[in-house]
Amino acid sequence: MTKWLTGALTAGLILNAGIAIAQTVGPAGEAATPSAEVALTDADIAALKDKGYKAALLWHTSSDFTNAVGQGATDEFKRAGIEIAVTTDAQFDAARQRSDIETALAAKPNVILALPLDPVTSAEAFRQAVTDGAKLVFLSNVPKDYKHGAEYAAIVTDDLYQMGKQAADALAKSIGGKGKVGYIFHDATYYVTNQRDQAFKTTIEKDYPEIKIVAEQGISDPARAEELASAMLLQNPDLDGIYVTWAEPADGVLAALRSAGNTKTKIVTLDLAEPVALDMVKGGNVTALVADKAYELGRAMAAAGMKSLLGQETPAFVVAPALTVTKENVSQGWKDSLNRDAPQSVLDAAK
């Protein structure tokens, strides 16, 4: 799910303080509620119908991931007869997102789903929506100083700990439970990537005593991934595996391995993307991709918003399941995560 964000949340400091966690927590340390527990009853659906309610989907970008989240939300709203009045794409521009919010408010939506791009500017940008009484449900980020139950109904994101843990388990399996690995983490204070990265590292150190993390490299700009990976490989040419914080920089790491003629070092990364998936199904360096259930994220966001409309209590922090996608289950894994078929190139190569 992770894409490059213009604003990082200071709540990630819970990890930077060196506190190892064994489960996913929210940006302010909130306990996680599984998304399956955020569901509407038949009576809830009946109570929502024919009220003229409208929803707005204010996305941060356009991608397979956001399409899947949006479809999950749309299908859930449709069950209750709620119209999607506005859908926008801010193209990772916080100023544009502010304009999108103003445009959406003209349609008077009762529920707004969004990923706030910048905590500070978003706090002001969404203020009018709060004043208007719209129920806000946020994907992963939250505006600065917003309080659950007052300004927003819920934050919904991945099961971050499980994503990192499953990545560690997959990499360990691919190298036979022993060897030397590199660790390329997101070098920014953002609780989503911080927890996923830390869960990988903690799992390796705790569960796999014969695997040693011998090289660590932070990355803030995905465009530098190939350069940073090349330097890591120059100093550690015998790495058995490398963990990469998400799929876009993993593509750069893969390019570095190819340039070095390295077919041995395995890569595990997070999120689904065609280039790394294609390498995986062709038996290349990529051995597994760990993804979230994006469609389920959208369903849970819509359900939380509708429960709030009904005056029901909603959990502050909700997480959707993680899944490990390999060559063997790539077709089903893509559907489970994104509710769509894998790219044709991947399906053809997997035959």
CA gyration radius, the chain: 20
Residue 177 to residue 82: CA distance in whole angstroms: 50
The per-residue pLDDT for range 37-50, each reduced to its tens digit, is 999 999 999 999 99
Task: Give me the pLDDT at residue 63, please.
Answer: 87
Question: Which residue in the block uniquely carries the two structure tokens 């490989």?
Answer: 233
Angle among Cα 288, 289, 293 to the nearest 5 degrees reads: 140
User: How confident is residue 30, by pLDDT bands cut at 50, 70 and 90?
Assistant: very high
How confident is the prediction for the chain on average, in pLDDT?
93
pLDDT level of residue 55 (50, 70, 90 thresholds): very high
Cα–Cα dist 319/32, whole Å: 6
pLDDT score, position 21: 59
Q: What domains, with CATH codes, occur in the chain?
A: 10-158+294-320 (3.40.50.2300), 160-293+324-350 (3.40.50.2300)
Quote the pLDDT of residue 62: 87
The β-bridge relationship of strands 154-158 and 317-320 is: parallel
State the burial class of residue 205 (Cβ atoms within 10 Å of its Cβ: 0-12, 13-18, 19+).
middle
Q: Beta strand pairing status for 322-325 and 286-292?
A: antiparallel
Confidence at residue 16, expressed as pLDDT on a 0 to 100 scale: 35
Summarize pLDDT for 146-155 with one digit per residue, the tens.
Answer: 999 999 999 9
List the single range of 61-70, 76-85, 172-181, 279-288 with lowest mean pLDDT.
Answer: 61-70
The pLDDT assigned to 282 comes to 97
- 3-class SS of residue 117: coil
| pLDDT band at 351; cut points 50, 70, 90 | confident
Select the more confidently predicted residue: 9 or 45: 45
Q: C-alpha distances in angstroms, 86 versus 54, 114, 151?
A: 9, 12, 21
Phi, psi at residue 15, to the nearest 5°?
Answer: -90, -35
Cα separation, 104 vs 98, in Å, equals 10
- The 10s digit of each residue's pLDDT in 97-127 is 999 999 999 999 999 999 999 899 999 999 9
Q: 145-182: per-residue pLDDT in tens? A: 999 999 999 999 999 999 999 999 999 999 999 999 99
State how far the Cα of 2 lies from the Cα of 335, in Å rounded to an integer: 18
Structure tokens at 265: 């070092």
pTM, 2 dp: 0.91
